[in-house]
Amino acid sequence: MRTEGYSETRGYCLEAVLCFLTGLISIVGVLLVGEGGIQGITALILAFIASKEIKEKELKGRRLVILGVVCSIIGLLSYLF
């Protein structure tokens, strides 16, 4: 097996994916059920954890974290107003 020129691929951070999905669920929850505050807060906590892990382990997923934060803020603001 040749290993010359082989570069280690970096995977996506699991917390970043969960942050994005939870942010989307917070928007959908507000629109369909009227509840989405807890999911929005959870997405923000996951965003903090994911950004720290991405920086430490040099993983992919920074854009997912940003999208998750935006979605969770939209979900939280929709829930509050």
Residue 2 has pLDDT above 70, yes or no: no
Measure the N-to-C terminal CA separation of the chain; round to a whole number of Å.
60
- Cβ burial, residue 57 (10 Å; 0-12/13-18/19+): exposed
Q: Structure tokens of 60?
A: 């992919």
Residue 1 has pLDDT above 70, yes or no: no
- Cα 66 to its chain centre, rounded Å, is 7
What pTM does this model have?
0.82
- pLDDT digit string, tens, across residues 22-68: 999 999 999 898 888 899 999 999 999 999 999 999 999 999 999 99
Residue 7 has pLDDT above 50, yes or no: no
Rg of the chain's alpha carbons, rounded to an integer?
A: 16
**How is the chain split into domains, by residue range?**
14-80
Give the per-residue pLDDT at 23. Answer: 94
